């Protein structure tokens, strides 16, 4: 029996050893890579203005530790968002990134943030799974004096001072951009003075993307008395629902000139519906398609000549977050709300832009 006990124990020790050697192996790899990075880092820190700090603090400043808790990997957009963080917060840029995938679970994010605090990170970046439930853990971060930057979704907390800044898309601006593009497009095609009939496929009602885009378009349309919004209806951000709603629009209205789809998937559905009804769309067709998000498939659709334009919803938050961190490092004030730069991609540039796209 003693033998058996012994064999159990050795097995136990071996399994733990296996697990740990896995961790420690990666650990040493990380530390050996560090010296190579310090040289490049030296340049960036030297370029920085001299802050009145003690030598000890200066030595620590060399590497800024950032803990990032990501929602998961549910979409291409999300993956691009993660990649942006990983490529921005590299050791070569003077950062050390601690990345945690929450697997779509809020409770995992809470655990991750608590661990970040204990690891004494310099900054905590959260792409929240949910808007709520952040009060306690962010209070813990505040008590520890660690600035928190929220990306993508907004959070709902009782006290705004619990986070330092928010980085994300300006959906209202995306709406403005869509109208500005349409105005330009009509002028180019000598239709500036003709009546334009528009229908909108809205996103899931109440989502921040839907509210921003709908309001943005509505606000700017007031400047164009000749444009008429025939109807708005939700397609819930899905291709199937977008197609269904577009079919009913086509039955009701005979003279639709422009379709605004609040994301690319609904635009694809609308294009299918238009083609099935025997009409044409795209730059050479009867109906102009305006879409949002500018995912890879939208570029394919534009190259194929179906879609006219897609307004970008940029997932590349990394550089903007880094900008904020650099400002905070210098002791400067930062804006509570920071938008990422977002472009407008019309069909004629699609073929040239596609290879440059990261998502």
- Compute CA 154 distance to the chain's CA centroid, rounded to the nearest angstrom: 12
Decide if residue 224 touches another protein (CB under 8 A): no
> How far apart (Å, rounded) are the C-alpha atoms in residues 325 and 237?
34
Q: Find the DSSP H helices in the chain.
A: 2-47, 55-61, 76-88, 106-118, 135-143, 171-188, 208-221, 239-252, 264-276, 296-303, 318-329, 347-353
DSSP string, 220-232: HHTT-TTEEEEEE
Output 146 or 221, the one with its CB closest to another protein.
146
- Residue 285 vs residues 132, 282, 320, 332: alpha-carbon distances, Å: 45, 5, 39, 52
Output 115 or 197, the one with its CB closest to another protein.
115
Which of these segments, 5-13, 173-181, 247-255, 344-352, binds another protein (CB under 8 A)?
5-13
Count other Cβ atoms within 10 Å, centred on residue 329: 16
Which of these segments, 74-82, 119-127, 269-277, 282-290, binds another protein (CB under 8 A)?
119-127
Which of these segments, 15-23, 215-223, 226-234, 327-335, binds another protein (CB under 8 A)?
15-23
Output 67 or 216, the one with its CB closest to another protein.
67
> How far apart (Å, rounded) are the C-alpha atoms in residues 30 and 28?
5
Residue numbers 70-99 binding another protein by CB under 8 A: 96-99
Decide if residue 116 touches another protein (CB under 8 A): yes
Decide if residue 64 touches another protein (CB under 8 A): no
Decide if residue 33 touches another protein (CB under 8 A): no
> How far apart (Å, rounded) are the C-alpha atoms in residues 5 and 11?
10
> How far apart (Å, rounded) are the C-alpha atoms in residues 249 and 246?
5
Residue numbers 41-60 binding another protein by CB under 8 A: 60
List residues near another protein by CB under 8 A: 1, 4-5, 8-9, 11-13, 15-16, 19-20, 22-24, 26-27, 30, 60, 67, 96-108, 110-112, 114-116, 118-120, 122, 130-133, 135-136, 139, 143-146, 156, 158
């Amino acid at each position: 029996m003693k033998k058996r006990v012994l064999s159990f124990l050795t097995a136990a020790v071996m399994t733990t050893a296996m697990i740990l050697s896995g961790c420690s192996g990666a650990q040493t790899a990380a530390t050996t890579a560090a010296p190579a990075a310090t040289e490049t880092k030296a340049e960036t820190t030297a370029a920085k203005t001299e802050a009145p700090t003690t030598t000890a603090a200066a030595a620590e400043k060399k590497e800024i530790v950032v803990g990032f808790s990501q929602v998961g990997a549910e979409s291409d957009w999300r993956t691009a968002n993660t990649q942006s963080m990983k490529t921005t917060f590299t050791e070569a840029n003077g950062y050390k990134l601690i990345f945690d995938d929450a697997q779509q679970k809020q409770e995992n994010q809470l655990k991750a943030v608590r661990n970040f605090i204990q690891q004494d990170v310099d900054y905590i970046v959260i792409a929240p799974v949910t808007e709520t439930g952040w009060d306690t853990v962010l209070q813990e971060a505040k008590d520890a004096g660690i600035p928190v930057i929220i990306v993508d979704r907004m959070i709902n907390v009782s006290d705004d001072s619990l986070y330092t800044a928010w980085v994300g898309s300006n959906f209202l601006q995306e709406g403005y951009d869509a109208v500005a593009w349409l105005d330009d497009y009509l002028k180019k095609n000598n239709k500036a003075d003709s009546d334009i009939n528009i229908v909108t496929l809205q996103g899931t009602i109440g989502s921040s993307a839907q509210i921003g885009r709908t309001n943005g378009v509505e606000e700017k349309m007031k400047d164009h008395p000749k444009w008429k919004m025939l109807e708005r209806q939700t397609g819930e951000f899905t291709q199937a629902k977008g197609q269904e709603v577009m079919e009913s629009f086509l039955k009701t209205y005979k003279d639709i000139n422009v379709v605004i789809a609040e994301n690319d998937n609904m635009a694809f559905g609308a294009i299918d519906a238009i083609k099935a009804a025997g009409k044409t769309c795209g730059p050479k067709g009867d109906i102009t398609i305006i879409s949002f998000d500018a995912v890879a498939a939208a570029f394919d659709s534009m190259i194929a000549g179906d879609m006219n334009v897609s307004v970008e919803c940029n997932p590349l938050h990394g550089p903007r977050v880094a900008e904020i961190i650099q400002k905070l490092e210098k002791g400067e004030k930062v804006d509570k709300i920071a938008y990422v730069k977002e472009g407008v991609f019309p069909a004629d540039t699609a073929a040239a832009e596609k290879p440059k796209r990261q998502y």
